[in-house]
Structures are given as structure tokens and as C-alpha cells.
Structure 1
Amino acid sequence: MIGEKVTMNDRYYASDKNKGRVWIVRSEPWDVCGTECVLLEGYSGGCALDGLTKVEKEQA
């Protein structure tokens, strides 16, 4: 999980500046009141794991 690239999906609100941005996960998931959350590099606070979509590796 740590080091994976993700984007914010439409499950939760994401500001215009964060939509489409690629983030790098910087923590293992932890539980917050039944929701799995992770930390992202350059983002303050945790993000719900189900609000993130993994960026698939580009094919060579």
C-alpha cells in the first residue's frame, strides 16, 4: 500500500484542485469509526480508502 499511486474518485467530495491529481500513499490503512483511511503525501489529514482509485501502471 505505501508508495502506491492513487487518485480521488467521486465517492466523496474532492476540490477542483485535487480532482485528477495523482497522490502517493504514505501510510498503511487504519480504521476510523469503521472506515479504512490512509495518509497521502502532500495532503493534510486522512483519506477514506474507498474514496481513492489506484492508478494502474502505464504499459511500456
Structure 2
Amino acid sequence: MAKPDEDKRRTDSQVAFDPNGPIGRKLKSFYDVIETEPVPDRLLDLLEKLDEAERRAKPGR
């Protein structure tokens, strides 16, 4: 565990990239909201087309 004096010596970039810092917590809250949204149908259709194209491109099928 860091000592209080060590925390004062942290640079701005170390604080900015701290996953438990204010920026990290805010990004996590945004990610949590996005993570619960359903995958758009258009994206699912595109992924299915890609899978089909890969299946056709494999030799021996």
C-alpha cells in the first residue's frame, strides 16, 4: 500500500491513467451502460455475412 507521501509524488499522467481514479471510474460507468445495450441487428447481419464468406472461402467445402 502506498504511503501518503508517495501519493503526493504521483505525476498527473499517473493520476489520469489510474483505473481507480476519477477518470477511470467515469469511463467504467460509461462502459457499464454500453455493455448492457443490445447488439444492433445491422451489426449482427454483417457478422453473419462475414461468417458465411469465411465458410465459402475455406477449401474443401
- TM-score band by shorter chain is under 0.3
User: Which protein has greater RCO, CA pairs closer than 8 Å, 6+ apart?
Assistant: 1
TM-score by length of 2: 0.18
Structure exhibiting the larger radius of gyration computed from Cα positions: 2
Q: Which has the higher helix share?
A: 2
TM-score by length of 1: 0.18
